[in-house]
Structure 1
């Protein structure tokens, strides 16, 4: 009998047992086109098709109206959204899958168009100076955001807590706090976007305070071993976030502190962009943080079956999250098990609003059947 591939071995994440280590990464797909921006049948079909993943992490779900920065994203702040997500979760569970919700606030990576003309919120009044699309698909430049008051920070912490309570009501197995990719929590981490001189800026402890307050608020609904967090220490040149000489020391501090919390996992991203010209940024994130972090470490970005198996086998990570490969291969763990060819994705339909490029990718069995009938 051949040895089970590392990716296909079971693992326990805190209170959740997974059948394999092939994780479906959180993927913004912009398919919530109804009045309340709630999941509908398309979402049910999409996630259920991928229930063979060891764990599904949902698309980023906005924790409040103020968290919005993209059109057609399914949030988790109204009753219709809770009910829509409940149907998704029930269907995934019926197929034997596990699913966490990713809690999301974009902060300054937004436009006044999404906030009735009011400014987006951020740690400081620093324009990311990027181009975004509004709800009508029109490209616009970002504006200088509103620097959050202490009261507004506390309000946002409560909104994360309420969103976690809503996810609990919807039946999710756990939640992931989206603390990366240049969005609100990450903006508090970064010295260029956070210029505060109060208790939320300056020192590593202060820059991390917002994150840990959110973690405590989320723990009111989920035990800490059903909570994950996503971090991107190597983000550079995305959404106005750049690495600085303080970046890696800050994340070293943050991740050391996370050892005091029995999280389900920590989810890290390898570099999205070339950071070879930024000497202080570690280019291999998993290898850098594996000796530092003592819990379950998940890694993502551009992995395939071979490289995913290798990074687990070498001990640099415990799980691997796959994004684009899961878009075009609903049965990705089966394809890995059979060492079968994977289907290519259609990038033109990543953020379109219909079923095309969302629920119409074939499973391997159908591909083989179609080929044999030719």
Structure 2
């Protein structure tokens, strides 16, 4: 992880640089472009690249390729890159062509990616991912996936044969849970060896951690279910295990309290109260930042509701990254309000590798080709152009 300098001289120089950078951002009228300390990370701007699954890993080994290095290198001007969700082990797999971080071949390939990003002045962390019951036997050699309880999450898994409905999983045993926590810890150490600056725990969506947090899916009666404190135990144990390779300096945590997917994943007052308590509990663990996905926008062009983020800003003591539906104006407004320290962008970064420049210069954003999101190959991945200087100022 990138840490603040410790010497007086370095602190003075950094403070002077930050003052100058902040003045420049003010001159542009964009708090989003000012520097920030995000836990253990010093960011030159608050434009964060959100983790986006792009299904470009190579072969059965699920190894990142030279295209991954080019893709993330093109976006190294982001204040922080959060690389795509990456499997912590073979049992975690639930989507085709997504890379892993559990073999030496994968570690070596990721090292090339981080080397390029660092050479270009960027900062990059890796999101650690486990799909749990949202996987499919097609990914697991015909075996049923495992989840908190034997309850079908009623979602879909992207397989080599396309999207398929999930099946009823088997309930994880105590040994399964212990092995999963260990897998996250080992993956975090592998990420450190691969040159990442930290890791983020992927706890949103319809996947393993969110399944344990969900009272409609977690009917356990042991230490990992039965009430909200027990349901969040898996996540907290994973955070603690993942923090060990980084000297306890913390890891990022991504949550989606407003996530909606069918009948079993929906935001209501009960689940939101569970997330209130969870976010407060994170203060007692080594969490570098909290990355929150807001509610989906009701209509195109609608601005995100800042109150959704403010709800958790009041409960979490550390830095907060907001996500989902933001553009340049709404992101700047959110930072100016103090309700978030940074804003992450997913689809905007897909089609705009120079997103920070486009924000700074007021340039129009390009739209991505959704048909190429998961198709593999260079098209729609590393071939989006940067904007032309003649586009001028907005």
Same fold (TM over 0.5): yes
Change (3 A) 1:201 1:244: farther
Take 2:82 and 2:28, find their aligned partners in 1: how far apart are those partners? 28
Matched, 1:210 2:234: yes
CA deviations over 1:221-245 (Å, ceiling 9, x no partner): 1244341000111112259423354
Which structure has the higher relative contact order (CA within 8 Å, separation 6+)? 1
Q: 2:278 aligns with which of 236, 243, 254?
A: 254
Contact 1:130 1:239 in 2 (8 A): no
Q: 1:351 aligns with which of 374, 381, 386?
A: 374
Change (3 A) 1:98 1:283: closer
Contact 1:57 1:99 in 2 (8 A): yes
Q: Which residue of 1 aligns with 2:96?
A: 71
Contact 1:299 1:317 in 2 (8 A): yes
Contact 1:193 1:241 in 2 (8 A): no
Q: 1:302 aligns with which of 315, 321, 325?
A: 325
Take 1:40 and 1:298, find their aligned partners in 2: how far apart are those partners? 29
Contact 1:271 1:283 in 2 (8 A): no
Contact 1:25 1:321 in 2 (8 A): yes
Contact 1:15 1:225 in 2 (8 A): yes
**Unaligned residue ranges in structure 1 (runs of 5+):** 275-281, 370-374
CA deviations over 1:319-352 (Å, ceiling 9, x no partner): 0000000000001001100011111111111111
Matched, 1:175 2:210: no
Q: Which residue of 1 aligns with 2:352?
A: 329
Q: Which residue of 1 aligns with 2:386?
A: 363
Q: Which residue of 1 aligns with 2:340?
A: 317
Contact 2:108 2:194 in 1 (8 A): yes
- Residue 219 of structure 1: CA displacement? 1.6
Q: 1:44 aligns with which of 69, 79, 85?
A: 69
Q: 1:91 aligns with which of 109, 113, 116?
A: 116
Change (3 A) 1:299 1:248: same
- What is the aligned-residue RMSD (CA, Å)? 1.9
Contact 1:235 1:273 in 2 (8 A): no
TM-score, length basis structure 2:
0.88
**Unaligned residue ranges in structure 2 (runs of 5+):** 1-23, 299-304
Q: Which residue of 2 aligns with 1:193?
A: 217
Take 1:260 and 1:4, find their aligned partners in 2: how far apart are those partners? 36
TM-score, length basis structure 1:
0.92
